[in-house]
Amino acid sequence: MLRTIFLTAPVALAAVVLGCAADPPARGVDAPEVRAADLEKAIKDQKGKVVLVDCWATWCAPCVKKFPQLVELHQKYADQGLVVVGVSMDKYGDADGYKKDKVLKFLADQKATFPNFIVAEPKKDEEPLLKLLGDYSAIPYMALYDRAGRRVWTTDDTPKLKDGELAKKIEEELAKK
């Protein structure tokens, strides 16, 4: 019996140590895979609030770099009526390398507690996504919707907004009741 304990204890210890070395599951965030119609409904369900949609991907270095600013905008303006919606386009550029766990881990690490979605069929939904969001093909890409659900700004608009100017644009929309 003692021999069994001495033999199983190291195995159990190794399992615990190896289990801890793996990436923990993402907690506190969810990102369902959706089609364009589902995303449109999610945005329309926020009527009465200002909505900022951010299209991004884990393989997009500029997206990853800018994401903390998105989280800051959420934290600063959520109580005033801003809803940030994160839209992962990970399947858009690298469908074969797509891993939902990677998206969820990134969102959890960023503390992205706002609504998050993953576009399930970016190629099939290209036309309705273009209609809903604008030309999202060059990410990072953002679109701002007013309280009535109308798209009032995108990153493609000119003149381009510099850092800090997006916050002012959000404040302008939030001030409209």
**What is the pLDDT confidence band of residue 31, given thresholds at 50, 70 and 90?**
very high
Cα of 101 vs its chain's centroid, Å: 13
Q: Is the pLDDT of residue 2 over 70?
A: no
Average pLDDT over residues 71-80: 97
- Arithmetic mean of pLDDT over the chain: 86
In a domain, 17, yes or no: no
pTM: predicted TM-score of the whole model, two decimal places: 0.83
pLDDT in tens, 138-173: 999 999 999 999 999 999 998 888 878 999 999 999
In a domain, 7, yes or no: no
Domains in the chain, number? 1
The domain that contains 129 carries what CATH number? 3.40.30.10
Q: Residue 157: CB partners within 8 Å, gap ≥ 6? A: none
Print the domain residue range for 117.
28-175
In a domain, 80, yes or no: yes
